[in-house]
Amino acid sequence: MRRFSAVVLLAATLGALPVLTAVPARAAHAHCTATACHFDVPPGTYDVKVLLGGETASSTSVTAETRRALLPETAVEAGERVARSFTVNVRTPEGEPTGADGTPGLDLHLGGSAPALADIVVTPARHARQILLVGDSTVCDQPGDPYSGWGQQLPQYLRKGLSVANYADSGESTVSYLADSRLWATVQPQIRRGDLVLIQLAHNDKTTDGATYRANLETLVAGVRAKGGKPVLVTPIVRRWFNADGTLNNDTALLVNGLGVDHPAVIRSVAAAHDVPLIDLTARTKALVESLGVEASKALYLYNEKRDNTHTSVPGATTYASLVRDELVARHLVPERLLRVG
């Protein structure tokens, strides 16, 4: 791995401009255009500090790599400057583990209604904790609009010192995730002592019998603990399938497969039996979807775009990521100082 002789690895000075313009970066291995900055760094974990604002009022968000949300839209008054920091995971492939490699290095993208970036600095993260995600298409870094997994939106709720390494992958069950060398065999060596590993696999276990499903979850839990990590079991987000009375369907919506395996119930049972923290996202998303009702809940999913009642939109994924954030706080899994709660 490349050695770095200075504390500040790369920095790009962009000036006090209301909208980012293509100003050459100070460092040879950094380049910024009107809407993005690229840093030539190897895979690893990096701290990023941005200075937002310009001569006119601005509103800026930051995403990275494969559409990962790192900073929610932040408004700054005219003539003011606001500093924000976050920690980002850089890896290959940069999105789904079985997907395309993406571009080398770190790519940061500017969004918002009126983006303005005065300065940006990227440094190697020395003592960052990480949250690794094991999951399916409802969690993963989806490559294309309008899709988004909740894991793709989770980083925007984290502050500097805590990163998300999203190893969720579309179409995976507990069976396939354990079998594919690009998945669990790649994830497990990345786990460091004290890391959280959030596991949400159920949507694609349609033909997995109950005993196998339970054993697979137990294998994942044991594998995390063998590396000194802390497993967290997450029950799956609900599918948006309503009964006539406005409640969610007990089978399709609540993840009971064709063999009669109640996935959320098995996950809860494994968590209780092995003293594993549980985020009951099934219960949380069920309550939210039913409270919104048939029409309003469409916006959480891709019903309007794709007639899809399983995969979430960006607003839906962002909302579900906030539920995960709330559970991380409530269960004392992450110090509140490392989370953006407001």
Give 7-18 pLDDT, tens digit per residue. Answer: 334 444 443 333
Helix 314-330 / helix 281-296 crossing angle, nearest 10 deg: 150
Handedness of CA 194, 321, 312, 146 (dihedral sign): negative
Query: Which of residues 109, 124, 139 is at a domain's end?
Result: 124
pLDDT above 70 (res 28): no
pLDDT above 80 (res 55): yes
User: CA-CA distance, 223 to 185, in Å (whole number)?
Assistant: 10
pLDDT above 90 (res 4): no
Residues 113/34, Cβ–Cβ less than 8 Å: no
Please report whether residue 52 resides in a domain. Answer: yes
Residue 33: per-residue pLDDT:
83
Please report whether residue 1 resides in a domain. Answer: no
Query: Which of residues 75, 106, 124 is at a domain's end?
Result: 124
Q: Are 201 and 247 members of one domain? A: yes
Residue 25: per-residue pLDDT:
38
Q: Which domain covers residue 333, as residue numbers?
A: 129-338
Residue 35: per-residue pLDDT:
86
Residues 1/44, Cβ–Cβ less than 8 Å: yes
Q: Are 134 and 117 members of one domain? A: no
The arithmetic mean of pLDDT across residues 297-320, rounded, is 97
Residue 342: per-residue pLDDT:
55
pLDDT above 50 (res 3): no
Residues sharing a CB contact under 8 Å with residue 161, sequence separation 6 or more, in sequence order: 47, 87, 125, 127, 128, 129, 338
Look over the chain and give the mean of its residue pLDDT values, rounded to a whole number. 91
Q: Are 234 and 133 members of one domain? A: yes
Give the CATH number, domain containing residue 238: 3.40.50.1110
Overall number of domains in the chain: 2
Residue 221: per-residue pLDDT:
98
Residue 30: per-residue pLDDT:
78
Share of the chain above pLDDT 70, in %: 91
How do beta strands 129-135 and 196-200 pair? parallel
Residues 75/58, Cβ–Cβ less than 8 Å: yes
Q: Are 45 and 67 members of one domain? A: yes
Geometric angle at alpha carbon 8, from 6 and 11, rounded to 5°: 135
Question: pLDDT tens digits for 140-176?
Answer: 999 999 999 999 999 999 999 999 999 999 999 999 9
Residue 53: per-residue pLDDT:
95
Question: pLDDT tens digits for 259-275?
Answer: 999 999 999 999 999 99
